[in-house]
Amino acid sequence: MSPVGVFDSGVGGLSVLAALRAELPHENFVYFADTAYAPYGERGDAYVIEQSRRVIEHLRREHGIKALVIACNTATTAAVHLMRAENPDLPIVGLEPGLKPAVASTRTGRISVLATRGTLASAKYAALRASFAGSADVRPVPCDGLVKAIEGFDSAGIAALSERYMAEAGPFGDAPGEVDTVVLGCTHYPLVKEELSRHAPATLRFIDTGVPVAQQTRRLLASAGQLAEGSSGSLLLQSSGNVAVLEAAAAKWLGLSVAATA
């Protein structure tokens, strides 16, 4: 049974993988972490496009994937349109910061978006933001270094950067002029949502896109007649960098004991 490919510049896409496996328990998955070339979020579009192309070619050639989830906001914003054009026979699901559900749920009309600098500077994000102009006051917060801290299991760094960027995202609350909704615009960030929430009131809403992406993947597979049935699916973890980092991340963030391959 052909697998579904999932890729990210590193381990952040594991948050999306968790949602995919919950939504599609019978599917086989191949997760590819491009850690040797990370982080994407602080690189230019040309770099991200070339790496995305290389990863997709690998997943198609070596694993015969039947669908692809780009579990990386930066790769989606820079490359998804080209990847779809170059792979018209492959269903591809991308990510974008969850502004739509955030605008729908905010009561104060003030939203902050935590994301990489690459995502926030992209034309795709600008178009998304423009589509909600007038609907809410949206504050971008580029979180330089947070992905690297998460990838490196740097607890002190995660704590310090979470405090810094949440301070920039506030003030939080339910009163006029206060931010009541925060969009987690990078797949790494849901992995540290508990740390981020330490710097906000319990009423603050965090929005991430793992579940909607999983639901969209199900719809695409169903429409193509490719939904798996029967036994539980398998999982293969691969990395272009240090496989031990991916194994440790899967164990730490998802509670999975899975051997990774290069």
- What tens-digit pLDDT sequence spans the chain (262 residues)? 899 999 999 899 999 999 999 999 999 999 999 989 887 877 788 999 999 999 999 999 999 999 999 999 889 988 999 999 999 999 999 998 899 999 999 999 999 999 989 889 888 899 999 999 889 999 999 999 998 899 889 999 999 999 999 999 999 999 999 999 999 999 899 999 999 999 999 999 999 989 889 999 999 999 999 999 888 899 999 999 999 999 999 999 889 888 888 8
* pLDDT digit string, tens, across residues 163-201: 999 999 999 999 999 999 999 999 899 999 999 999 999
Does 182 share its domain with 249?
no
Q: Please name the residues in contact with 191: beta carbons below 8 A apart, sequence gap of 6 or more.
A: 11, 12, 14, 15, 150, 253
Does 245 share its domain with 122?
no
Does 117 share its domain with 181?
yes
Does 184 share its domain with 244?
no
Element (H, E) at 93: strand 92-93
Does 145 share its domain with 234?
no
In the set 38, 72, 102, 237, the catalytic residue is: 72
Is residue 69 a contact partner of residue 213, using CB atoms and an 8 Å limit? yes
Does 220 share its domain with 158?
no
Which of 192, 207, 222 finishes a domain? 207
Average pLDDT of the residues of the chain: 93
Does 194 share its domain with 225?
no
pLDDT confidence of residue 41: 72
Cα dihedral: 74, 15, 26, 245 (round 10): 90
Owner of token pair 């990395």 = 239
Phi, psi of 201 (to 5 degrees): -70, 160
The range of the structural domain enclosing residue 106 comes to 99-207
Which of 190, 207, 224 finishes a domain? 207
| Total structural domains within the chain | 2
Active site residue 143: no
> What is the value of pTM for the model shown?
0.85
Which of 207, 229, 246 finishes a domain? 207
Does 108 share its domain with 197?
yes
3-state secondary structure 112-151: EEEECHHHHCCHHHHHHHHHCCCCCEEEEEECCCHHHHHH
Rounded Cα distance between 77 and 2, Å, is 27
Active site residue 186: yes
Does 220 share its domain with 123?
no
pLDDT confidence of residue 239: 95
Is residue 116 a contact partner of residue 9, using CB atoms and an 8 Å limit? no
Does 73 share its domain with 116?
no
Does 106 share its domain with 196?
yes
Does 140 share its domain with 173?
yes
In the set 149, 186, 200, 245, the catalytic residue is: 186
* pLDDT digit string, tens, across residues 42-59: 778 899 999 999 999 999
Q: What is the CATH number of the domain that holds 233?
A: 3.40.50.1860
